[in-house]
Amino acid sequence: MTYASALTTAIHNPRLRLLDALRANSKPIMTFLGLPSFRTAQIVAQTGVDGIIIDCEHGHISDDSMHSSTAAIAALGVSPLVRLRMTHADLIKRALDAGAHGIVVPQINTAEEARAIVSHAKFPPQGLRGQGSAFPAIAHDIDIPTYMKTANETLITCVQIESRAGVENVDAICAVPGVDMVFIGPNDLALSLLGYVPAKGTEPEFVDAIDKIVAAARKHGKWVSRLSNNGGLCKEHLKVFDTVAMSYDVRAIQNWYTAELQVARS
């Protein structure tokens, strides 16, 4: 089935900051939010990032916190994405009904899994998503009828490639219509391929896997992203990737206190 998607849509909504930046090839920068705080979400959204991935996989984020963070981030003109804890259809529905501008789905290893994700992220006739929430229209700053007409082609569906199986099947995964972006989880990828983390970044098998993922994304016209630990690495990675996620709110707090305490006690 051929239909407009986030990659091809002609719709422009200034509230969809990440999508607009990706389509303009302006190299947007995201980060991860792992703390269950409406205020933390607001603070991070005011830093200048283009998108925030609310981490329901590894973060301390409940369904309630996900709703609050999504609303807080969107209200400040930044794009909230939700990383799900697994691939269940109800988790996709909850994230999108909260108003997420997209979803990030971990541990996708086959094209069949990717197709299932897309089917639950799209309203009919492209998919199986049900309608009933008033909240996503608020996060998109539009009315419900407009949201219903535009959601299928403005929401970003991102799948994570972070295992040996995912790398082996990445070409077929990237070929799935409705997959807009692939995201490299370097730590889980290193664990799967090398048996340890963090990767040094020079291991041939690790480097080849990343190159293979990027090549598959480019071949099928998908955006490709990855985690970057700091600003310097972001700058380097953005030479290759369409967008990056710069670290994590938890690590940012830890790193600041660690560095400043070293200065204070020196």
Residues labelled as active-site residues: 58
- Cα–Cα distance, 266 to 261 (Å, whole number): 8
Tokens of 142: 């539009």
- Cα–Cα distance, 185 to 187 (Å, whole number): 6
- In the 8-state DSSP scheme, what is residue 181? E
Instruction: Report the amino acid identity of residue 46.
Output: Q
CB distance 69 to 32 below 8 Å: no
Place of tokens 């009315």: 143
What 3-state DSSP class applies to 31? strand
CB distance 13 to 140 below 8 Å: yes
30 bridge partner residues: 51, 245
- In the 8-state DSSP scheme, what is residue 59? S
**Strand duo 29-33 + 243-248: pairing:** parallel
Tokens of 221: 């016209």
CB distance 18 to 81 below 8 Å: yes
Whose CA is closest to 105, among 125, 91, 123, 126? 91
